[in-house]
Amino acid sequence: MFTGLIETTGVIESISPKGDVVELTVKAPSIAGELINGDSVSLSGACSTVTYCDARTFRVEMMPETQKRTKLGTLRSGSRLNLERAMRVDSRLDGHLVAGHVDGTATVKEIESFGATKKIYFTALEEILCGIVEKGSVTVDGVSLTVIDAEENFFSVGVIPATLAGTTIGELRGGDTVNIETDMIGKYIKKYLESTFGRKNGDEKVKNTLTWDKLTEYGWS
């Protein structure tokens, strides 16, 4: 479990196919020496398990699902990553609950500058956009951000100077791809509502019949 508050950035030192997985070696001297095998580290939002570490680098293995669902499969040696170690249970939760399970990717549509801050617009598939709400939380490349706009075909976030300087978010340009994890609590609510008020017929999802009368009937007010 993570918070979306990035500790540091690292650089991919090497990428090596190894059977059914791809091995990534990441240079991150500020945290590598404190890691042990088996630790969880978020690599730009994707939870990964440390398989080797020394004083300056650590290594993880990337499964085919991670390569397919995230942007990690498209990165190269020299690419920078946002890094966060697993949260401690005795610390403040200053970001939001982040599982490190990337839902999919989004594309940078537009970037607006407002002095030292930026507003970034993203386009994404409906399955991503339906989990994003105005003033809610979203994880972009591992960074916990607050949603400004949540529209039918795009969403936007605001980014402060500290985040722009301390993460890879400040390097984004139009057309870039980012990893997205929508709010965990929202996913459970959505699942509950679908199972209570909707149904599935084979692979075809039947239109939700949720109404205010039904919400009232089930105790919602």
The predicted pLDDT at position 174 comes to: 97
3-state secondary structure the chain: CECCCCCEEEEEEEEEEECCEEEEEEECHHHHCCCCCCCEEEECCEEEEEEEECCCEEEEEECHHHHHHCCHHHCCCCCEEEEEECCCCCCCCCCCCECCCCCEEEEEEEEEEECCEEEEEEEECHHHHCCCCCCCEEEECCEEEEEEEECCCCEEEEECHHHHHHCHHHHCCCCCEEEEEECHHHHHHHHHHHHHHCCEECCEECCCCCCHHHHHHCCCC
- Pair (113, 159) in one structural domain: yes
Label residue 201 by pLDDT band (50, 70, 90).
Answer: very low
Q: Tell me the C-alpha distance between 68 and 46, whole Å.
A: 12
The predicted pLDDT at position 190 comes to: 79
Q: Is residue 202 pLDDT above 80, yes or no?
A: no
Domains: count for the chain: 2
- Pair (78, 130) in one structural domain: no
The predicted pLDDT at position 206 comes to: 41
191 in any annotated domain: no
Token pair of 196, please?
Answer: 């209570």
* pLDDT tens, position by position, 122-160: 999 999 999 999 999 999 999 999 999 999 999 999 999
203 in any annotated domain: no
The closest alpha carbon to 81, from 3, 173, 178, belongs to 178
- Pair (37, 80) in one structural domain: yes
Among 29, 51, 85, give the residue marking a domain's end.
85
Q: How many residues does the chain have?
A: 221
User: Which segment of 35-44, 175-184, 194-203 scores lowest on mean pLDDT?
Assistant: 194-203
Q: Is residue 203 pLDDT above 60, yes or no?
A: no
* pLDDT tens, position by position, 79-112: 999 999 999 888 877 888 899 999 999 999 999 9
User: What's this model's pTM, rounded to 2 decimal places?
Assistant: 0.86
Which residues, in sequence order, are CB contacts of 213 under 8 Å at separation 6+?
none
Residue % of the chain over a pLDDT of 90: 76
* pLDDT tens, position by position, 2-48: 999 999 999 999 999 999 999 999 999 999 999 999 999 999 999 99
Q: Is residue 213 pLDDT above 70, yes or no?
A: no
142 in any annotated domain: yes
The predicted pLDDT at position 180 comes to: 98
User: Which segment of 6-15, 56-65, 199-208 scores lowest on mean pLDDT?
Assistant: 199-208
Structural domain span for residue 169: 104-184
